[in-house]
A = this chain, B = another copy of it.
Amino acid sequence: MFEIHPMEIVGLVAATLTTASFVPQVYKAYKTKDVEGVSLTMFLAMFVGVLLWLVYGFYLKSLSMVIANIITSVLCLMILILKIKHKKKS
């Protein structure tokens, strides 16, 4: 279903980095409950955008994009939930 090419390694590292980048933000928001500086608009637009990247990734038959965008959408949703939950509490 998916083609394998050496450049897929670059895609996989890119996917790992941008996907993993959401983890420290989820952790920070969960731990400190300080989400005042976090933009709700950013993570809302990001969430919808990531879902569309997922569709586009299927079209490009890019394994990196499909996997990365599934995980990113979940992490993004967690930040959104934490932002809404802890808003105006700090």
Contact = CB atoms under 8 A, between A and B. Distances in A.
Nearest to A42: B25
A81 interface: no
Q: What is the oligomeric copy number?
A: 2
B21 A55 contact: no
A53 B21 contact: no
Contacts of A32: 36-37
A6 to B, nearest CB: 10
Interface residues of A, number: 45
A56 B45 contact: no
Nearest to A41: B24
Interface of A: 5, 7, 10-11, 13-25, 27-29, 32, 34-39, 41-46, 48-50, 52-53, 55-56, 59-60, 62, 64, 90
26 contacts: A10-B52, A10-B56, A11-B59, A14-B49, A14-B50, A14-B52, A15-B49, A16-B49, A18-B45, A18-B53, A21-B42, A21-B43, A21-B45, A22-B42, A24-B45, A25-B39, A25-B42, A27-B39, A28-B39, A28-B42, A32-B37, A36-B36, A37-B37, A37-B38, A56-B64, A60-B62
